[in-house]
Amino acid sequence: MLVLKHVYPAHGSDGRTYEIHVYAESADAEHDHAPIEKLKSVMLADGRDLRVVGKGHYELPDGSLTLESHDHDAI
């Protein structure tokens, strides 16, 4: 199951503010073990995929927009 885990504000290289959405895929717990979560995707709120280039730093795959989040929990 795909789950929205985090939403972070980020400042774009175009001067606009964006929302970064982090999705994880979780599997049901088996045999009394905790559920397993795996990072599935990082994208803008409008659905465009992002590449993580460093903690709190993201970019569109074509490099046309870079983003920076100052949230201390950002990936």
Report the C-alpha gap between 43 and 20 in whole angstroms. Answer: 6
In a domain, 62, yes or no: yes
Report the C-alpha gap between 58 and 28 in whole angstroms. Answer: 30
In a domain, 16, yes or no: yes
In a domain, 75, yes or no: no
In a domain, 73, yes or no: no
Per-residue pLDDT, 8: 95
In a domain, 24, yes or no: yes
Task: Using pLDDT thresholds of 50, 70 and 90, give the confidence band for residue 65.
Answer: very high
The domain of 26 spans: 2-68
pLDDT above 70 coverage of the chain, percent: 91
Per-residue pLDDT, 36: 77
Per-residue pLDDT, 2: 87
User: What would the pLDDT profile of 21-54 be if each residue is shown by its tens digit?
Assistant: 999 998 765 656 667 788 899 999 999 999 999 9
pLDDT at residue 63 greater than cutoff 90: yes
> How many domains does the chain fold into?
1
